[in-house]
Amino acid sequence: MIGTNHPIVRLQGPGLDLDLASRVLLMGVLNVTPDSFSDGGRFLETDDAIRQAETLAEEGADLIDVGGESSRPGAVAVPIEEEIRRVVPVIEQLARRLRIPISIDTTKADVARRAVAAGARIINDISALRMDPDMAPLAAREGVPVVLMHMQGTPRDMQAHPVYDDVVREISAFFETRIRFAEQSGISRERIVLDPGIGFGKTIDHNLEILARMDEFRSLGRPILIGPSRKSFIGRVLGLPVEERLEGTAAAVAVGILHGASIIRVHDVRAMGRVSRMAKAIERFRHD
């Protein structure tokens, strides 16, 4: 495996310097969409999105992840111009109003380019630079960090019949391949974050196993981001609808942190901030 034994202490880029050593970072979710699984339609209007982002920042978010296209199971693609129309005005205002960095959640290079020009500092690509051949050159040219996420299939079909022989080993192999691709495209390895893609082409058991074995991704030597917030595997385990998954999310977040997560992508920032601080306090006494 490619990797390093050196501790990961910072994530840096133009206008960005995030401390990964002392605590877990909170990435607040801002879906500027009509159909996201948890909060679709609530923040589709720019003013509503701005207010929500300001609330997330007040609750302790370290960065805000803005997305204009739902990636829920079964979701269909949004035209580029529509995605730009949704996210760019929001990012422009947030970049002026907030002191925390903005991430753009997109698979489209044209959207990412406009978002970065508007003030986004990170590209969060659920396809790990696979869906748009122009994304990797764009990220390299702009020098911004990228989140490379694992997904089996596409949002439209990813939950049809996900199959793995060994889900963690296969995701690790995927990460190795995508890190090499990113580096060959001119993206510095120090600007890569990895996301195992909980809920993206995985069964309930796959998601649970990823959380239980996340330590195995440490050998890749890059920060790990996880996004279990309110997802369906929690609902299936607990038998609860999306609006009642706070405690299940908290358990997943705590386990993820104990097994090495550096960034957690969540809807409930204040509550998960408390969970993360407690889990990080415990994690300091682990001896691997």
Q: Report the alpha-carbon distance of residue 33 to residue 140 in Å, rounded.
A: 28
Amino acid letter, 231:
K
Q: Which listed residue (114, 178, 222, 231) is catalytic? A: 231
The residue with tokens 């889990």 is: 279
The residue with tokens 């997560």 is: 261
Is residue 231 among the annotated active site residues? yes
Which residues lie below 8 Å from residue 217, measured CB to CB, with a gap of 6+?
A: 168, 171, 172, 175, 194, 196, 224, 260
Q: Which listed residue (85, 265, 284, 286) is catalytic? A: 265
**Is 125:147 a contact under the CB 8 Å cutoff?**
yes
CA-wise closest residue to 38 among 252, 235, 261, 250: 235
Which residues lie below 8 Å from residue 4, measured CB to CB, with a gap of 6+?
A: 221
Is residue 265 among the annotated active site residues? yes
Catalytic positions, written as ranges: 231, 265
